[in-house]
Amino acid sequence: MSLTNASPLDAAQAAKSASHILATLPASARNDALTAIHTGLAAARDDILAANARDLELARAAAADGRLSQSLVSRLDLGKAGKWDDMLKGILDVRDLPDPVGRVTLRTRLDHGLDLERVSCPIGVLLIIFEARPEVIANIASLAVKSGNAAILKGGKESTESFVAISRAISAALETTRVPNGAIQLVTTRDVIPELLAQDRYIDLVIPRGSNELVRYIKSNTKIPVLGHADGICSMFLEHTADPQMAADVIVDSKTSYPAACNSLETLLVEQSALTTILPRVAEALAAKGVELRCDPKSKAALQDFNLSATIVDAVPSDYDTEFLGLTLAVKTVADLDEAVQHINAHGSKHTDAILTSSKELAEQFMSSVDAAGVYWNASTRFADGMRYGFGTEVGISTNKIHSRGPVGLEGLMIYKYKIRGAGHVTAVYGEGEGKKRFLHESVPL
């Protein structure tokens, strides 16, 4: 890893050259580099935490003056319980995943002695633009090295001291490995984002991690493909055969376990015939968590006898196109599954949408009809997460659909979607701490 004051053009060219070497390294060389990064960061713990403390001090002062949000200060803190250890463990988790490079996914004999293979290979050079959280640098560096991609990292200025300390440790560690120095670069010069976004000749993919505004700005200002999503407007359809307690549990988890997350619930679509049978219990559970409900007239009427007036507000049309990122939920009545699907396909953000029902048939119909990267049955939208999916970690969640290379026939016209079939599972019960459930992450034969 190099900490560079090079121009964006020079950084991008160096990354491209490094990517060509990285793409040919065997898995053992890439894994050795991850071991070295882990060892190097562990040894530099005190230096890095001291640098992080200096960032935090400035950030706290800025927050006291109202120039910075308290939540940003909180995301900045590498000393928070478990954060440092999780960061280090993540590096080894990624190292121990199967090698994604060189997988043969199609093999066709075209003629005697003439064989065609489709083989996985790295994309090339990634540009990752992110805001505060300093541990992201270790996640991204791990995924990039393991997958044989070079990466240029541009972090938010609030974390500069932390980034520099981490990057020094990673750089020293990589010196002892076969991964070239230019493969992971940290750009710290100011105001370089527009210039980086212009390097479409050398950079293959931009991955923004941050606010919707950051993502939108990037999408509108580069010819390079952007992987990610701007909005996360996730919807849940409450069908009348849903189990009421399961519905309350799943909806509460989807809305309240981390309201600022992109996979949190923003819109609840209630089947007309569930308005009086299931919605009240759900609404009471949400109210107990302090959630404000923005209701259409029918759902408001269904709740009028339940002493919930303090938490109910009349919905306006824009509520159904809003990512609240807080304890607010838009509620709308729909006649049936078809209307729910139409609403989601028109107003959703193609991120993650779910159905609560006891009917397998309706669940399958919902999952086929909704156009989204994740479509779930009886499970919380918050399962949309690389760690929860068993991917070790993630570089981001993509609502992109395009994925083809070489001659494109039928297969190149396809993309995948993720389906989950649960029984009321919620995310909040999973974790590493005491009393928490662990994921199985078992592979199941296709």
Q: Which is nearer to its own copies, 54 or 401 (CB)?
A: 401
Q: Which residues from 402-441 bind its own copies, rule CB under 8 A?
A: 402-423, 425, 430, 437, 439-441
The site for its own copies, by CB under 8 A, has a size of 103
Rounded Cα distance, 368 and 417, in Å:
9
Q: Which is nearer to its own copies, 2 or 139 (CB)?
A: 139
Binding its own copies (rule: CB under 8 A), the pick from 50, 61, 64, 116 is 116
Rounded Cα distance, 324 and 235, in Å:
12
Q: Which is nearer to its own copies, 67 or 405 (CB)?
A: 405
Rounded Cα distance, 358 and 245, in Å:
12
Residue 446 sits in the site that holds its own copies (CB under 8 A): yes
Site string for its own copies, 325-364 (x = CB under 8 A): ----------------xx--x-------------------
Q: Which is nearer to its own copies, 280 or 422 (CB)?
A: 422
Output the furthest CA–CA distance in the chain (Å, rounded). 77
Site string for its own copies, 148-177 (x = CB under 8 A): -x----------------------------
- CA atoms within 13 A of residue 10's CA, in its CB half-sphere: 9
Binding its own copies (rule: CB under 8 A), the pick from 15, 76, 126, 265 is 126
Q: Which is nearer to its own copies, 236 or 397 (CB)?
A: 397
Ramachandran assignment for 152, one of left (phi > 0), alpha (psi -120 to 50 degrees), beta (any other): beta
Binding its own copies (rule: CB under 8 A), the pick from 282, 373, 381, 382 is 373
CB 224 within 8 A of CB 206: yes
CB 238 within 8 A of CB 204: no
Which residues in 370-383 are b (16+ Cβ under 10 Å) and which e? bebbbbbbbbbbbb
Residue 127 sits in the site that holds its own copies (CB under 8 A): no
CB of 399 to its own copies, least distance (A): 7
Residue 223 sits in the site that holds its own copies (CB under 8 A): yes
Closest to 287 in 3D by CA, of 329, 232, 319: 329
Residue 382 sits in the site that holds its own copies (CB under 8 A): no
Binding its own copies (rule: CB under 8 A), the pick from 15, 18, 101, 214 is 101
Binding its own copies (rule: CB under 8 A), the pick from 76, 374, 381, 382 is 374
Rounded Cα distance, 11 and 185, in Å:
7
Q: What's the chain's Rg over C-alpha atoms? A: 24
Residue 178 sits in the site that holds its own copies (CB under 8 A): no
Token pair of 357 as six digits:
């029902």
Point out which residues pair with 187 in neighbouring strands: 4
Residue 306 sits in the site that holds its own copies (CB under 8 A): no
Rounded Cα distance, 391 and 94, in Å:
8
Q: Which residues from 12-71 bind its own copies, rule CB under 8 A?
A: 20, 23-24
Site string for its own copies, 181-220 (x = CB under 8 A): -----------------------xx-------------xx
Residues in the chain: 446
Q: Which is nearer to its own copies, 67 or 109 (CB)?
A: 109
Helix (H, G, I), strand (E, B) or coil at 106: strand
Binding its own copies (rule: CB under 8 A), the pick from 3, 53, 394, 428 is 394
Residue 245 sits in the site that holds its own copies (CB under 8 A): no
Binding its own copies (rule: CB under 8 A), the pick from 46, 109, 213, 317 is 109
Burial of 29 (0-12, 13-18, 19+ CB in 10 A): middle
Pairing between strand 292-295 and 312-314?
parallel
381 Cβ contact partners less than 8 Å away, ≥ 6 residues apart: 234, 236, 254, 263, 264, 265, 352, 353, 354, 374
